[in-house]
Amino acid sequence: MRIVPTSNNIHLFTVEFLILNEEDIDWEQLSDFKDRRFSLPEIRMFRKKINWNLYVPNHVMNENEIDIASKYFSEELIYKLPSMQELTEKIVRKFRNKIHWSLLLLKSKFPESFLLEMSSSWKDIGDEKLQTIFTSNRAMDIFDGNYESLLLYLNLKD
């Protein structure tokens, strides 16, 4: 019999409970349950049971959690990761050739030096689209004086 998490029983889903009932738990439902995060030790223990395609879009994950769990992410999930999680420089470096750069640049705030270091990964997006992306990014004000080289790179400054 499958053990399905609900708002009435989610408090029972402790580490001990997960260990004792590992084969009976409905991992699809638990992965999708927004009110239940997996701790780093749980991610390590149950990494093959968790449905990452359901979990990642519904839960905020830190750098260590993403780093450990990413071994089980599909290519599509990695590509869409910037739209679901706030990524650190370490994670971006790890997936620089697999992530959707337009999504990342549209909502992330990174220092100019990091953006220029990674420019080989996003340079093919196209000048007009890049200009639109960077000027639309609400997390980063490229005209605040901290992005002079980037402005020159994007042809947004003479």
Question: Which one, of 75, 101, 73, 74, lies nearest residue 87 by Cα?
Answer: 101
Residue 158: pLDDT band with limits 50, 70, 90: very low
3-class DSSP state of 72? helix
Burial group, residue 125, by CB count within 10 angstroms (0-12, 13-18, 19+): middle
HSE (side-chain half, CA atoms, 13 Å) at 87:
28
Residue 157: pLDDT band with limits 50, 70, 90: low
Four-point Cα dihedral 58, 100, 137, 126, nearest 10: -160
Q: How far apart are CA 42 and CA 61, in angstroms?
A: 13
Given a cut of 70, whether residue 90 has pLDDT beyond it is yes
Whole-model pTM: value is: 0.87
pLDDT in tens, 26-54: 999 999 999 999 999 999 999 999 999 99
Given a cut of 70, whether residue 3 has pLDDT beyond it is yes
Residue 88 carries which DSSP code? P
Q: Per-domain residue ranges for the chain?
A: 1-99, 100-158
pLDDT at 37: 96
pLDDT at 32: 96
136, 106 contact by CB (below 8 A): yes
